[in-house]
Structures are given as C-alpha cells and as structure tokens.
Amino acid sequence: MALDNRRLAELAAHDDFLQRHNGPSDDDVAAMLATLDLECLESLVERTVPADIRLGRALALDPPRSEAEALDYLKRLARQNKVFKSYIGQGYHDTHLPPVIQRNVLENPGWYTAYTPYQPEIAQGRLEGLLNFQQMVMDLTGMALANASLLDEATAAAEAMALCKRANRKAKSDAFFVAADVLPQTLDVVRTRAAYFGFELIVAPAEELADADVFGALLQYPGDGGRVHDLAPLLAGAAARGIMTCVAADIMSLVLLAEPGALGADIVVGSSQRFGVPMGYGGPHAAFFATTDKLKRSIPGRIIGVSKDARGNTALRMAMQTREQHIRREKATSNICTAQALLANIAGFYAVYHGAEGLRTIAGRIHRLTTILAQGLRARGVELAHDSWFDTLRLTGVDAGKIHGRAMTHEINLRYFGNGDVGVSLDETTTTHDLDTLFDVLLGEEHDLSVAALDERIVAEGTSGIPAACRRESEFLTHPTFRRYRSETEMLRYLKRLENKDLSLTHAMIPLGSCTMKLNATSEMIPITWPEFASVHPFAPKEQVAGYRQMIDELAAFLVEITGYDHISMQPNSGAQGEYAGLVAIRRYQAAIGEGHRDVCLIPSSAHGTNPASAAMAQMKVVVVECDELGNIDTDDLRAKAERHGDALSAIMITYPSTHGVFETNVREVCKIVHAHGGQVYIDGANMNAQVGLARPGDFGGDVSHLNLHKTFCIPHGGGGPGMGPIGVKAHLAPFVSNHVVTPIEGVHADCGAVSAAAFGSASILPISWAYIKMMGARGLTRATELAILNANYVARRLQAHYPVLYRGVNGTVAHECIIDIRPLKAASGISEEDIAKRLMDYGFHAPTMSFPVPGTLMVEPTESESRYEIDRFCDAMIAIREEVRKVENGVWPVDDNPLVRAPHTMADLMDDAWERPYSRELGAFPSEAVKAAKVWPAVNRVDNVLGDRQLVCSCPSIDTYRD
Ligand SMILES: *Cc1c(COP(=O)(O)O)cnc(C)c1O
C-alpha cells in the first residue's frame, strides 16, 4: 500500500504556482544570466547581497500548496467565521455592493492593479471616479472641497485635529475638545496622535464645548448612541471664539440630515464604507475628508483637480502635490501616501448608480424602519436614551443579559454598552422581516407588535426621529454624472469606458521603482469577496471570528519567519501608518525605560518622504544623514551625528536595500553605531522584495520594520490604495505596539493607544498575502527574490549602453531596482525625464518612478513577475526613445517640436487636419510593432500641472466643459 516519496511527489497536486507567479522561464533565466556573464543565479545573489547578512538557510515554512489547495484551506478557515446579522453600528454597517460594481470594479484587475494616478494621461478613468467621490462628499457634507480618501474615519479625525492646529495660528491653547459621544475607536486613535503632538484632550459632553478653552473640537453627527442634535449653535459659538471645528459624520445620515457645512463646520470627516463597501472585519474602506475653501492649501491626502491638456481640453490630475511628503518631508501636511483609492471609487460609483433619488430611498427606508422599531419599543415601555435618531437606538434600563441570550439564538449581534444599555443600528440590508425578529429579540416573543400597524401609524402621524432643525433642505448629486447611469447597461458601459482610459497591469509592466508592481494573482484575490470574510463586523465577538484570527495568526507567523522579528502588529493600514506605529512603539519603550527624553531621529537624505513626515508626527526631531557619492549612507557623518546627539538619539530610519537600489555592505555597522548610542533601528521594509528568503532585517540589526503588503506581498495597489503596513518588532518593543479599545490585543500594554480604527487594520485583504506565501512556500519566495534581482540586473545591463546607471553595489550589481540618470542627456538635448515618461505611454508603458530618490532620474523595478519577453519589450522602448533623443541632440528635430516633448499622442493628434510636425503621425502614435497590435490610447494630451494648481477645481466639471 505504501507509496514511496518519489511516487507521492508524482501524485501531489501538479499545478505549481511558482511557475505562474514568476515571469521568466528556466530558459529565460539561462539567457539572462548569459547576458550578465554569470553561470547561475546563486553567483548573482552572492555578488549582490552582502555575505554578512545572508540568511544561509531556507525559510522554515510549510511546503507550498497549489492554488486549489490553498483556496480550499482558506475556505475552511473562512467557514470558521460565523456571519451573524450585525446591528452593532459604531461606524460600520452592512451594505449591498451593487453586483455590477462588484464584478466590474472590485473583482476586476483593470481597476485593482492600477497604480496611483501620477501619470494622469493614462489614468483619466480612475481620476474621474475619484472626482465623483470628491463631488459626492462635497455635496453630502456641504463643504467646498474634499480629498480623494484617507485610511479610515479615526485617522481622518486625527488628521483633522492636526489641521485645526496648523490652520488656527491665533489660538494659544494646546487643548483639543472631543465630544463624549465620538465613536470610541476614533477617540482611541485621536488620543494616540494627541499624545505625540503634545496636545491635551478634553473629553466631555458636546454641549460643554461652549466653555472649553481649546484650539479645535471634534463632534460626532449623529452621536455614538444615535442622537441627532442641532450642531449649529455649538459650531457658531465655537467659531465666534476662534475654535476650529470638525464634525465626524455618518455618510448615509447626511442624505436626510442638514449638511455640516451649512451648520458651520470647518472640517467634515467620516467613512464611506456603507456606500457599497463590505465591512470586511475592519477594512479596507475609504474615509472622506472635506473642508472649507479657506483650508484648501493645507488639506491632507491626495486631491484630484481639474486642469487642461496641451490641446486645451479638460483633463484631470492629482493637485497640489507640493504639500505632500515627497516634497515637504517633515513639514508635509501629513504622512499619508497610500490611501484607499479603490474603495473611494466603489463608494463614488455606488452614488453614481443610485443617484440622489436612490440614496433618498435607501436612507429614507433605513430611517423609517428605525422609527418603527423606536415606536414599537416605546409602546412596550422600553426607554430610549435619546428622543432623536437616524438609524441607531440606544435602549436603557433593559435586561441586556436576556436580550443577549435571545440575540445569540437568532444569530444577531447588537451593541452592548458598558453600563448595560443595548444599541441597535439598522442599515440598507434591514428588512421588515428583520424588524419582527428584532422585536422578538429585544422584547421577548410575547410582544404582540405588528410592523405593518406601527408603520401605518408613523406614516399617518408623520413621525420622524430627525428634529426639524436637523433636516436637510438642500439638493445634492445634481451633476449629470449622478443622473445618467441608472440602468445596469448604462452603468456597465460607464465603468468599462473609464477602465479603458487607464493603463494597468492588464496591459503592460508597470516598472515603478520602490512600488513593486508584481502579479496580484486571481486566486489570491478570490477570497476577499467571500461573505465569510467580507460580511464580518470588526467588533463582532471573538467567538465568531475564529477563522479570521487563525488566518491572521498564521500570516503573522509567516512574516515573523520571513523578517526575523519576534512579533507582528497587524494594525497599520499603510506603509506610512506602519512607520508611525513603529516610531510610537520606540518612543513608548524608551519612555518605559526612563529614556523618554530621546527624540532625535536620524534619516538619510535619500529616504522616502514618508519617513521624515512620520518622524515629525511622532514628535521627533529629524536630523539628516548624508550619503556619499556612491549613494551609500556616509558612516562618518552618521557616527558624527550619533555622537553629537548621543543621549538625545532616539532612532534611525533606514531603507534596506537602500532607496538607491543597492545592498549597502555597511548595514550591520550602521545598526551597531546607532545601538551603541542607545538608539533604535527602524528599517523601512518597502524594499523587502529584494530580501525575502535571502536576508532578514530582524537578523542584521533592525528593531522594527513595516512591511508594505501591497508591494512585496501581492495586495494590489488599487489605483492608490488599499494597502497594509503591518510592523515586525523585536521582543522588547512588542508590548508597546498599538492596542485597541474595542478589541484588546494580547501581550500589548493596555494604555498603548490605537493607530487605526480597526484592531487588525484592513483585515479583509490579508488573505491575499496569506495565499501568496502559502502557494509560494520557502523555495518559491526565495526564487521570486532571486528573479526580482535578476530582472533588475538584466534591465540595468540592457540599458547601460544607452543611459548611465546611477548606483551599483560593490560588485557592480544592483538590487531589485535600478536608477537610470537622465540629467546628462537632458543637459545635452533639453529632453527631460518627464518627456521620456510621457513618451513611454506612446510605446504602451507606464513610466518608471520619476525623480525619486534622485531628481532627474528614472527608477526601474521590474519585479519577478515580468517575463523576459515583457522586459525586453520595455528595454527596446527605452532604447528606441534614446535614439529619438539623439535626433533632438543632433538637430534633426527641433527641441520644442519632436515626438518626446509632444508626448503622449492621442487620437485627437492623429485626426488633426493641421498636422505640421517634423515627424509622421505613425511615428507619433505607433512607434513600435507592439502598439500597432494593441494600443492603450492616452485619453488626453499632456496635462498642465501649473494651471491645475493655480486654479484649483476639485469638483466635477459641467458636461459642457468636456465639449468645448
Ligand atoms: C511605498 C513606500 C513607503 C510608503 O508606503 P505607503 O504604503 O504608501 O504609505 C515608505 N517608504 C518607502 C521606501 C516606500 O517605497
């Protein structure tokens, strides 16, 4: 009976995911190695990764599973989650994601594999989607402008607090007011931020704002517990006393409630989750952030603005990027980089699909059902904590234990307040049948209430939970976009039309250095819309989330093994949030050992902008460490600065391999120097794709790192989010990572505040990274790293005769990316890195990372997922472009009229009767055979950046402007 090992292996599931994830075949690898004059991959790795940091063994992970096996295993985990009907509310509500949006956006790689729209000419589709989102937020909040999403409501509130302080220079107070009925998880995150900004928090009933001496205030609308009260007098009173105000609002309630802008708020924040985005045990969801016109230059996050292209046509782009960390570094308005673009698009499309009437119907139903519930409960003598409501009731003086017992029988989750009150929040999915059940649960089965009879009385008497002063009077979503796409056919075509304007990984490689645009495998993506993962409330009781917890624990264990750290905190929902969480953990640890005075953070000049921005948020003083001419950290300068700041040195933040794409050989020494001066080492893990299986930051000196799961671990970029930025920490920091007020985390000190609204961040996308690691196994992950390095070195080798490669390691190799220098070429020809970036669009490619970390350069990261065929196609395009530049250099083409400065070329160019350029239409738009076969047309000509920032417009342009 027994099968020997060989025969077992033959019988094992055949499908080898490794072959699917990695681009190059064995033959390709051999050919590429030959190009590099190398015998084998191992010799490339030996030359590239310093011996003193090599792991020297295989990662200890279970053998890989096939795609089918991994999905099967994950399905079994998912089934351990119990999906109860949720009436918990507290910022998260069940919702119906319209299937046309689910299939054509959320489950569509044309949308989810795109990058942040830094190249607007090939991103007009998602830019329009995000502009719709902004318009929707502006309309519903009544504010002058809105950004294109933040990470969650709680961090948006924390950003609002920071903005109040920045904008309110007159206020002398360092205190910030938070109304007692702000959501508890929001207060938790605001508290963490306030501590490191040095703000005092005053938490008191909203009415007490009238007497508070503060620079700003945060109110909740409707309040936690459901009360709808007129904020206008409070907001006016605050304004009169020079206090800036932020209102955290429920987006669905705003359909019926007076908009906070009209009531006098300076800032309005909230979550757009219940506009079609599944709860997903905490995320991802798009938070919104809207302000008055006065605050437009200091609003955090990305903003989509309207500008014009080279033909004078309307074109969209990301506006005012000069406020962001890439330019302003520690003085940036915030550290937010990756946000929630995909989810903002979904929420925006939900509003497009339903329009104002549809939303009024949905919100009206929710309110009417809540009113029926309220009247029924009152008729049976139940006391409600508030006389007003939109969708939430708080029952007081009830027997919570009995209610809980009945609720469990009916598989219903309610909110249980500490004082014995019970909360019920209704949502779009609630039916009259659900109300019958709710009465049974809340009152016991003998209640004898009829929903129909209650409803009849409510309608006859015009009963409403919304006080007259709080009713919305104004129109919203009047723009044609929100009227046109009501049938599924029209909606489907609108979504497809937008998708077709954008370049994503479905078209070509996206060689963005530092971004790791690798395969987001379909099998990794499938579980995220399973109801067992998608429909779980983040505050569901622990007994109902066994599957989630096991998946998260397993993923954490994988990441511990991969990084060499002792513990993973899964809370931060972007890389930048991970940086902040890690630095805060360092500060808490240092305070606990009596070294709280340490506040200097050393950061190399080449660092990503989020590093200094995060350090500033953690109230650290940023001291820049210089790099030498080879791009490496200057150890002499480091030593001198570590010495100078000695006792004040808190930490260093380094990126490894460096943002220059090089494995510095002195990294152990760098860590040692900092440790010798009592500092901690933060290693930015964005470049983990060059290390997995070869080296571990926890082994060579790191105390903490964030991992961008949306880079190395296959979560798609979504056009600018979602992401996940969990941090790995050494044991001494583990008790100091983020805890959570609603979902306490084992092993973490109780007083460590949260950094995200949900305990495990955007939990519903974690199965993606879990599946990737599970299907690759130790050998596969290591192979992927080796191929990422091989592909980058192959690019460097193919391009080096045409463009100088800026930095290399000691043996002449690069890590997983390479920087090519455009400055000499620009000096000789007048053609800039931007011209090359735009010209690449004509060849069907997205540009590499432009001018980071070195101005005037392009940083190319091919990743392991790109085949030799595709990489050759890209290199061929780059080389052809180099020859085009030569024609400008040689005077064949004038410097102001050539295919480079005119790029990208659009259909409008080709149709132009007045074509009088020194090159043919064909060369303009079809410069390669590949684009003749399949062309991604840039939707607009080159977009005017200066105009877009000078005349900031962040709302949907009228349809007429598209026409003229
Ligand atoms: C991408 C990146 C970050 C920021 O990560 P987000 O998830 O976008 O916040 C930080 N550092 C480096 C080096 C990066 O490449």
**Rounded to whole angstroms, what are the CA distances from 73 to 81, 440, 547, 775?**
14, 37, 11, 11
**Percent of the chain residues topping a pLDDT of 90:** 94
- How would DSSP label each residue in 351-370? HHHHHHHHHHHHHHHHHHHH
Rounded to whole angstroms, the Cα distance separating 141 from 287 reads 13
- For range 637-661, the mean pLDDT: 96
Please tell me what DSSP assigns to residue 958: P
pLDDT tens across 36-61, in order?
999 999 999 999 999 999 999 999 99
Cα of 913 to ligand 1 centre, how many Å?
45
Ligand 1 atom closest to Cα of residue 723? 7
Handedness of CA 729, 735, 740, 745 (dihedral sign): positive
C-alpha distance from residue 553 to each of 400, 535, 569, 738, 879 (Å): 32, 20, 10, 16, 47
Query: Torsion angle, CA of 674/678/684/687, rounded to 10 degrees?
Result: 40
Per-residue confidence (pLDDT) for residue 326, from 0 to 100: 82
CA of 606 to the centre of ligand 1 (A): 13
Ligand 1 touching residue 679 (CB < 6 A): no
Average pLDDT over residues 538-567: 98
Q: How many helices (H) and strands (E) in the chain? A: 35, 25
CA–chain centroid gap for 957, Å, is 26
pLDDT reading at 441 higher than 60? yes
- Per-residue model confidence as pLDDT tens digits over 292-306: 999 998 999 999 999
| Ligand 1 neighbour 817 (Cβ under 6 A) | no
Q: Encode pLDDT of 663-689 as tens digits.
A: 999 999 999 999 999 999 999 999 999
| Collapsed DSSP state (helix, strand, coil) of residue 286 | coil
Distance 126 CA to ligand 1 centre (A): 21
DSSP 437-501: HHHHHHH-TT----HHHHHHHHHHHT--SS-GGGB--S----STHHHH--SHHHHHHHHHHHHTT
Which residue has its alpha carbon closest to ligand 1 atom 5?
575
For residues 311, 313, 315, 321, the Cα torsion angle rounded to the nearest 10 degrees is 60
pLDDT at 12: 63
pLDDT at position 774 is 97
Q: What Rg, from alpha-carbon coordinates, does the chain have?
A: 28
Residue 9: pLDDT band with limits 50, 70, 90 = low
Dist. CA 219–CA 902, nearest whole Å: 50
Mean pLDDT across the chain: 96
Q: From the alpha carbon of 577, which atom of ligand 1 is closest?
A: 9
Mean pLDDT of 805-832: 97
Q: State in Å: Cα 654 to ligand 1 middle.
A: 12
Cβ(661) – ligand 1 distance below 6 Å: no
Q: How many CA atoms lie within 13 A of 510 on its CB side?
A: 26
Asked whether 338 lines ligand 1 (CB < 6 A), one says: yes
Task: Decide if pLDDT at 952 tops 90.
Answer: no
**306 contacts 132 by C-beta, under 8 angstroms:** no
Q: What's phi and psi for 440, nearest 5 deg?
A: -60, -45
- Residues 6 or more apart whose Cβ sits within 8 Å of residue 754: 154, 185, 188, 189, 192, 571, 738, 739, 740, 741
pLDDT of residue 962: 55
Whether the CB-CB separation of 45 and 690 falls below 8 Å is answered with no
Which tokens go with 8? 């077992």
Which pLDDT band holds residue 958 (cuts at 50, 70, 90)?
A: confident
14 or 705: whose pLDDT is higher? 705
SS (H, E, C) 26-50: HHHHHHHHHHCCCCCHHHHHHHHCC
Give the CA distances from residue 46 to residues 29, 50, 663, 694, in Å, rounded to whole numbers and listed in that order. 16, 7, 11, 10
- What confidence tier does 964 reach under pLDDT thresholds 50, 70, 90? very low
Q: Name every residue whose Cβ is closer than 8 Å to that of residue 386 and which is 6 or more positions away in sequence.
A: 223, 225, 226, 227, 228, 393, 394
Interval between CA 232 and ligand 1 midpoint (Å): 40
Q: At what angle do helices 26-35 and 41-48 cross, to 10 degrees?
A: 50
Does position 619 have pLDDT exceeding 80, yes or no? Answer: yes
Band of pLDDT at residue 436, cut at 50, 70 and 90: very high
Q: Per-residue confidence at 354, pLDDT binned at 50, 70, 90?
A: very high
Q: Which amino acid residue places its CA nearest to atom 8 of ligand 1? A: 338
Q: Would you place residue 320 in the very low, low, confident or very high pLDDT band (cuts 50, 70, 90)?
A: confident
* Confidence (pLDDT) at 14: 54
In this predicted structure, the answer to whether residue 541 has a pLDDT above a threshold of 60 is yes
Q: What is the pLDDT of residue 323?
A: 79
Ligand 1 centroid from CA 330, angstroms: 15
With 80 as the cut, is the pLDDT of residue 963 above it?
no
Q: Report cis status (omega within 30 of 0) of the bond before 184.
A: no
User: How many angstroms does the Cα of residue 409 sit away from the middle of ligand 1?
Assistant: 46
Task: Average the pLDDT over 274-290 and give the result.
Answer: 98
- Please give the distance, rounded to the nearest whole angstrom, from the Cα atom of residue 611 to the centre of ligand 1: 9
pLDDT at 959: 66
More confident of the two residues 331 and 251: 251
479 pLDDT more than 80: yes
The answer to whether the CB of 337 is under 6 A from ligand 1 is: yes
Q: Coil, strand, or helix at residue 59?
A: coil
Map 721-737 to HEC letters.
Answer: CCCCCCEEECHHHHHHC
Q: Is residue 271 helix, strand or coil?
A: strand
Best of 318, 321, 610, 724 to mutate for ligand 1, by most ligand atoms within 8 A of CB?
610
The pLDDT tens digits of the residues spanning 51-97 come to 999 999 999 999 999 999 999 999 999 999 999 999 999 999 999 99
User: 108-152: per-residue pLDDT in tens?
Assistant: 999 999 999 999 999 999 999 999 999 999 999 999 999 999 999
β-strands 216-221, 244-249 pairing: parallel
Contacts of 851 (CB under 8 A, 6+ apart): 833, 857
Whole-angstrom distance, CA of residue 313 vs CA of residue 905: 14
Q: Name the pLDDT band for 603 (thresholds 50, 70, 90).
A: very high
Q: Residue 875: its pLDDT value, please?
A: 98
Q: Does 708 sit in the ligand 1 pocket, CB within 6 Å?
A: yes
Domains and CATH numbers, the chain: 82-510+937-964 (3.40.640.10), 545-770 (3.40.640.10)
How far is residue 923's CA from residue 842's CA, in Å, rounded to a whole number? 9
Which atom belonging to ligand 1 lies closest to the Cα atom of 574?
7
Neighbours of 538 (CB within 10 A): 28
Question: Which residue lies with its CA nearest to atom 6 of ligand 1?
Answer: 575
Question: pLDDT digit string (tens) for 877-901?
Answer: 999 999 999 999 999 999 999 999 9
pLDDT at 950: 87
